[in-house]
């Protein structure tokens, strides 16, 4: 669960404040500044997984749908920030925690765009096996 220590160590750089921490999870408030200079505030649960992996979901759900594959929100509410096979995001030190936070902030900005436009317009891989074909085509 060292990944939560690394996430916490750099959270302030991303306008994130840890509110509570329990065994294997922490609650954060994250403020995202949008292109319009408006601020979107998210309440997020960050969960330590195995092998340095970290999952995150909105908790409580207020700004995002509870599940939406088209918006890269899994059935359990966790965000699909990356495709592990092509681009793993383990959090093993402060540098990798910064990379993880950067992905998360970009993801949340994309969610704000999707809320306005009613569709996902940010980059991302296709779902399931189609992701392999997409990656091959792009390479």
Give the pLDDT band (50/70/90) at residue 133. low
Identify whether 127 is preceded by a cis peptide bond (ω within 30 of 0): no
pTM of the prediction?
Answer: 0.91
> 3-class DSSP state for residue 25?
strand
- Residues 66-123 have pLDDT tens digits of 999 899 999 999 999 988 887 889 999 999 999 999 999 999 999 999 999 999 888 7
Q: How far apart are CA 58 and CA 28, in angstroms?
A: 10
Q: How far apart are CA 117 and CA 109, in angstroms?
A: 13
- Residues 36-66 have pLDDT tens digits of 899 999 999 999 999 999 999 999 999 999 9
Q: Which of 57, 122, 52 is nearest to 84 (CA)?
A: 52
């Amino acid at each position: 669960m060292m990944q939560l220590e690394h996430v916490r160590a750099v959270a302030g750089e991303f306008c994130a404040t840890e509110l509570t921490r329990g065994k294997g999870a922490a609650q954060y408030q994250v403020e995202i500044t949008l292109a319009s200079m408006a601020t979107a505030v998210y309440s997020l649960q960050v969960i330590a997984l195995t092998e340095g992996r970290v999952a995150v979901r909105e908790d409580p759900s207020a700004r995002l749908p509870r599940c939406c594959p088209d918006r890269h929100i899994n059935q359990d509410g966790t965000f699909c920030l990356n495709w592990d096979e092509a681009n793993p995001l383990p959090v093993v030190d402060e540098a990798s925690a910064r990379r993880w936070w950067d992905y998360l902030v970009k993801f949340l900005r994309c969610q704000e765009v999707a809320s306005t436009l009613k569709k996902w317009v940010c980059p991302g891989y296709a779902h399931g096996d189609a992701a392999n074909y997409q990656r091959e085509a792009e390479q």
